Amino acid sequence: MQKEVQYIKGVGPSRAKLLRTLGINTVMDLLYFLPRRYLDLTPLNFEQGSTDSVGAFPCVVTDYGYEVLTRSKIKIVKIPVTDGKRKGFAVFFNQPYMKNAFKPGDRLILIGKIKKSYGEYEILNPEWQKFDEINLSDYTKICPIYPLTRGLSQKILRKIIKNAFEEVLEVDEVLPPSLLNDYKLMPKLYALKNIHFPESWEKLKKAQERLAFEELLLFQLAMMVTKRHIMGEKRKNIYRDFDLKPFLKNLPFSLTEGQKKVVREIISDLKSERIMNRLIQGDVGSGKTVVASIALYLAAKNGYQGAFMVPTEILSIQHGATLKKYLEPLGIKVEVLKGDMPKTQKEEVLKGLEKGSIDVVVGTHAIIQDNIKFYRLGMVITDEQHRFGVRQREALVRKGYYPDVIVMSATPIPRTLALTIYSDLDISVIDTMPEGRQKVDTYVVDESMRERVYKFMEAEVKKGHQAYVVCPAVEESDTGLASVDEIGRELAENFPHLRIGILHGKMKAEEKDNIMKDFCAKKIDVLVATTVVEVGVDVPSATLMVVENAERFGLAQLHQLRGRVGRSNLKSYCIFITRSKDKNVRARLNFMMKTHNGFEIAQKDLELRGPGEFLGVRQHGIPEFKFVNLIKDLKVLETTKALATEIIKNDLLSNPEYMGVKKAVEEKLKII
């Protein structure tokens, strides 16, 4: 299965190179390269076809093909065909060689869209197959459609995968026979064959369920092993002082009910025998940082150091300033550790952490690297992009710190998904917003309003406010998408008095940090950026968010972008500009005008786009499922969760029958 793909019949070095661009290096990669959709190719006569959907048309060639040159110099090859009753043509654009591909009497299946033209039918640019190569009765009625790269056609890729299955006689069957039998699951090789070349729609469904079952079971077992490993650690850091009065007295506002509830859950963890491993979920602006400050305050009061990990240096500076405001008046020393600090200053911070004169440190994930020593680290707070895997957790434990861990997520995730993704964590939700936080007025407009939108932006800047403009692309291309370069240049030309800044992921980290610092310091009026601003800093004077090509983003992502404004008592606005005329797209965007509840928006996004698209899997720590759809496979999710619990409870992983499951779980743990 690890055999290189180039040795499969029909591949060779040049096609292997094309397959590599699709992430296919081995035979195993090829078998796991899934179709993105399927076509129903039940044979139709010409009259049953339509211009809207692809069909399969059995027919016979009635004459030799000929070439037509259109006025616009496009070469068209027309092959006369009949379905037995009606006349038609297979029509090929700019493929002159097709003229000699067929002769009268050839029996074909043509796959494509059909239209009626002057009483005759035309199948445009069809895929085709000769009858003498296939038996019509054996002909698969369900045709897989794969993601492609230039130089590979669907036909070629399907042939290569077919050849691979002829060579592969068995695959590693992870699940024991008893499970396959109890849950009526297909053997794995048979399931893979039916994923690529389904014998029927029912078999396709069963194949998808079989592979989703294995994937979810392994994932949940890995999460449970992780949780047992982490939660099995007895508490070493003993907490006795839980008096929050001094901290709350120093706060310029009262905690919301949601914050109070989560603080109670944290205190309950710290009083228990087990080490805390908790996820705190909260919508944009729900006050997660204050809750994190309370956890760090309790750690310091009980003699332990705290570390707060964030994704960017600019965010570390901002969080550092907030924590200093909350904690330093209470005698708790807070420091920010930055990459660009002068050497002497950095050494001082490292010395302070080792000796224990610094209570709380804020920085990127570099703050828990090997060369940084703590006197008594007891509390680690991290955002969702820096979740601890089992190996990292073990490294911290080996250092002798036994820290409690809080993971903070600004991504509202529907409960079902959260319970799957974060099943190794206890989950808390801050479900109320601070008083006085204004709703951001949201509008969906089309291209014709762009000039008015940017005039409105100019008016906001004149009031001393700032604005974001988010684009889906960095550079101009022929896709018609708004790009940072293009919009940045247009704004600079049309509004020369405005200070325009540009920010995107291709910039170096230092360059990005400097731009954000300038924006925070009000040296930039309008920041034109990609979604790198989505996990962003607090800019209280930013009152306008404009999103170009809003139809290209998920709802949850648009909600995160909207959360960049409205961070103060200033009236704020969010405007989504779309070029799409599609009613469904407009309805989806209009949903954003109706609700500001991140959990509702996330649920809707998940239903519309599925978990693969939901927020960008890699970016938000959501596991990449190959076979699982967390909306369609809820039942499988529940079944495998119950089964995983039973396997762990009865210690079945040590049973020889479960050897394959154990090995696969261990492999999974390496990447969690």
Structure-token pair, residue 369:
């690297």
In angstroms, the CA 571 to CA 569 distance is 7
Instruction: Tell me the percentage of the chain whose pLDDT exceeds 90.
Output: 36
User: What tokens were used for 105?
Assistant: 């009497």
**What stretch(es) of the chain map to CATH 3.40.50.300?**
245-430, 441-595
How far is Cα 50 from Cα 145, in angstroms, rounded to an integer?
19
Provide the token pair at 112.
Answer: 């494509």
CA dist., res. 285 & res. 283, Å (int): 6
The per-residue pLDDT for 49 is: 85
Beta strands in 484-581 (DSSP E): 500-503, 526-529, 542-547, 573-578
For the chain, the first-to-last Cα distance in angstroms comes to 24
Q: Are 657 and 178 in contact (CB under 8 A)?
A: yes
> pLDDT tens for residues 284-338?
778 888 999 999 999 999 999 999 988 777 788 888 988 999 999 999 999 999 8
CA distance linking residue 592 with residue 516, whole number of Å: 27
Report the DSSP pairing between strands 55-61 and 75-82.
antiparallel
The H-or-E segment that residue 66 falls in is strand 66-69
Stronger pLDDT, 565 or 532, i.e. the higher one: 565
Q: How far is CA 11 from the centre of its chain?
A: 32
When mean pLDDT is compared across 108-112, 271-275, 284-288, 668-672, the lowest value belongs to: 668-672
More confident residue, 388 or 237: 237
Most confident of 25-29, 45-49, 305-309, 315-319: 305-309
Q: How confident is the model at residue 192 (pLDDT cuts 50, 70, 90)?
A: very high
> Top-level CATH class of 245-430?
alpha beta
Rg (the chain; Cα; Å): 30
Provide long-range contacts, Cβ within 8 A and 24+ apart, for 367-375. Answer: 367/307, 367/309, 367/337, 368/307, 368/309, 368/392, 368/396, 372/337, 374/305, 374/307, 374/399, 374/401, 375/305
Taking 90 as the threshold, does the pLDDT of residue 169 lie above it?
Answer: no
Of 41-55, 292-306, 485-499, 541-555, the poorest mean pLDDT is in 41-55
User: Is pLDDT above 70 for 1?
Assistant: no
DSSP letters along 417-482, please?
HHHHHTTTSEEEEE-SPPTTPPPPEEEEEEGGGHHHHHHHHHHHHHTT-EEEEE-SBSS--TT---
In whole angstroms, what is the distance from residue 303 CA to residue 238 CA? 9
How does residue 538 score in pLDDT terms, banded at 50, 70 and 90?
confident
The tokens of 561 are what?
Answer: 């972008």
What 8-state DSSP symbol labels residue 4?
B
Q: How far is CA 179 from the centre of its chain?
A: 31
251 SS3 class: coil
Nearest residue to 300 (alpha-carbon basis) of 326, 278, 282: 326
What is the rounded distance in angstroms from the CA atom of residue 26 to the CA atom of residue 480?
36
Cα–Cα dist 658/589, whole Å: 48
Looking at residue 119, the DSSP 8-state letter turns out to be T
pLDDT given for residue 303 in this prediction = 94
Give, in words, the CATH class of 441-595.
alpha beta
DSSP collapsed to 3 states, 280-330: EEECCCCCHHHHHHHHHHHHHHCCCEEEEECCCHHHHHHHHHHHHHHHHHH
* 387-401 average pLDDT score: 67
Pick from 138, 131, 80, 81: nearest CA to 107: 131
Predicted pLDDT at 138: 47
pLDDT higher than threshold 80 for residue 131: no
For residues 505 and 397, give the distance between their C-alpha atoms in angstroms, rounded to a whole number. Answer: 34
**Element at 52 (helix H, strand E):** none
CATH entry, 42-139, from 3.40.50.300, 3.30.420.40, 2.40.50.140, 1.20.1050.140? 2.40.50.140
Task: Report the share of the chain in percent with pLDDT over 70.
Answer: 89
Q: What is the pLDDT of residues 408-454, one digit of tens each?
A: 887 767 666 677 677 777 888 888 777 766 789 999 999 899 999 99
Please list, in sequence order, all residues whose beta carbon lies within 8 angstroms of the beta carbon of residue 227, skipping any fewer than 6 positions away. 277, 423, 424, 425
| 555 φ/ψ angles, rounded to the nearest 5 degrees | -60, -45
Give the pLDDT of residue 613. Answer: 45
Q: Are 565 and 577 in contact (CB under 8 A)?
A: no
pLDDT tens digits along 232-247? 677 889 999 999 999 9
